[in-house]
Amino acid sequence: MHILVVGLNHKTAKVELRERFAFSPSELPMALRTLRDMKSIMEGVIVSTCNRMEIYVVCDQLHTGEYYTKAFLESWFRIPIEEFQDHLYVKQNQQAVNHLFHVVAGLDSLVIGETQILGQVRSAFLTSQAEKGTGTIFNSLFKQAITLGKRVHTETEIGQNAVSVSYAAVELGKKMFSSFRNKTILLVGAGEMGELTAKHFFAAGATDVIVLNRTLEKAQEVAARFHGTALSLEQLGEALRKADIVVSSTGAKKPILTKSVLQPALRHRRSPLFLIDIAVPRDIDPAVHELDDVFLYDIDDLQGIVDANLSLRQHEAEKVVAWIEKETERFQQWLQTLGVVPLITALRNKALAVQEETMARIERKLPDLTEKEKRVLRKHTKSIVNQLLRDPIVRIKELASTSTRDEALELFVQIFALEEQLREKETQQALAKEKSTSVLVDGKVSLST
């Protein structure tokens, strides 16, 4: 068995292409069933977010697994492979495992250390599990990955510091006030940056938000999203008298908050006024520094916070990479041992069949045995089997993690003559796979047995 991931993300494809490969939650179950029924594919998980689309599969052969995974994408989205082939990345076996661990830890995200992707991967795994799209390998791999992701976000500070200017403004506000409860946030400018900043303040507990904009309709539109108050730019003086924190992000070419604008409002205030200017060109005249009880921070101050936090995240990321390497190695060791399981099962079944046949002969030759005597004999003959098997099983597990693994497994099969048992198992699996293969009536994918 092999592990494969085929995907595209913000690094390899622009949003115009990524959005064409988005799986909606409602169609994901059908997509998983279709993927699972593709030739060569034994297990599958689909991760679909705004920044990535990844298909994780367990396949019997790497070449055919990759081919049919790409064929699935081509058929499901009805997009010729020539249009997206160059934007795909393909990772195999250990690299695929390592990639998944990087993803759940937030190291492969647009913003390093972000936490949302962990929940998205967990949801993708649970959805596939519910559709019986996962088995022994992915049940173990994704549970290990999710556990690692939780550890990263609880035992490191990789996701605890602002790495965007808009969120840095909120972090700065937290340093000014322990809580935003009963504090008024005045947002001057209702553009994309201003709205994002308001969203962060609102998420941090701000309940009193005033939005000012040159166009009142736009201010009302943004304010409504945060249960705030909308005012026109002409009401700036009135709003300044109420505000505790002012965040300005207009597109004005000259400062709109000057000493002359602020001074009248300050006469009606008893508490300090904190000004955060995230506009370029600047909205707030640097001369306001000269006013009493006014504290001004511009985008360079915020960028300093962002840079420091990025540096901290990068430092934490180095720690996480070391964890990922250990987790990847641990999974590989488990996977190698897993390859021994069919051999051990075949050996046990063969040994127990001999034991049962022996018991049947004993009972025929000694028909007067009581049920109690039969139970005693059955117990002791099974004990002999288990004792004889113990050392060979321990040794083959040890050899499975060595460089001579393949030779050792082959020799194990030959020594105990397990070829017939293994062939029967493979036949049963092939029949089960063939039985589950179906022709989809929606025309997206046609499969034949």
- Report the distance separating Cα 316 and Cα 310, nearest Å: 10
Q: Which helix (H) or strand (E) holds 434?
A: helix 419-436
Which 8-state DSSP code applies to residue 53?
Answer: E
User: How many Cα neighbours within 13 Å face the side chain of 261?
Assistant: 17
- Report the distance separating Cα 127 and Cα 282, nearest Å: 48
- For the question of residue 59 being annotated catalytic, the response is no
Task: Kindly report the backbone phi and psi dihedral angles of residue 129, in degrees, each rounded to the nearest multiple of 5, phi listed first.
Answer: -60, -40
- Of the candidates 15, 50, 110, 280, the residue annotated as catalytic is 50
Is the bond into 281 cis (omega within 30 degrees of 0)? yes
Say what angle helices 116-130 and 136-155 make with each other, to 10 degrees. 160
Q: How many CB atoms lie within 10 A of CB 25?
A: 9
Q: Tokens at residue 281, please?
A: 């060109």
Q: Tokens at residue 326, please?
A: 């250990």
Q: How many CB atoms lie within 10 A of CB 115?
A: 16
- Report the distance separating Cα 149 and Cα 146, nearest Å: 5
Contacts of 387 (CB under 8 A, 6+ apart): none
Pairing of strands 52-59, 2-9: antiparallel
- Report the distance separating Cα 135 and Cα 3, nearest Å: 12
Q: What is the CA radius of gyration of the chain?
A: 32
Catalytic residues: 50
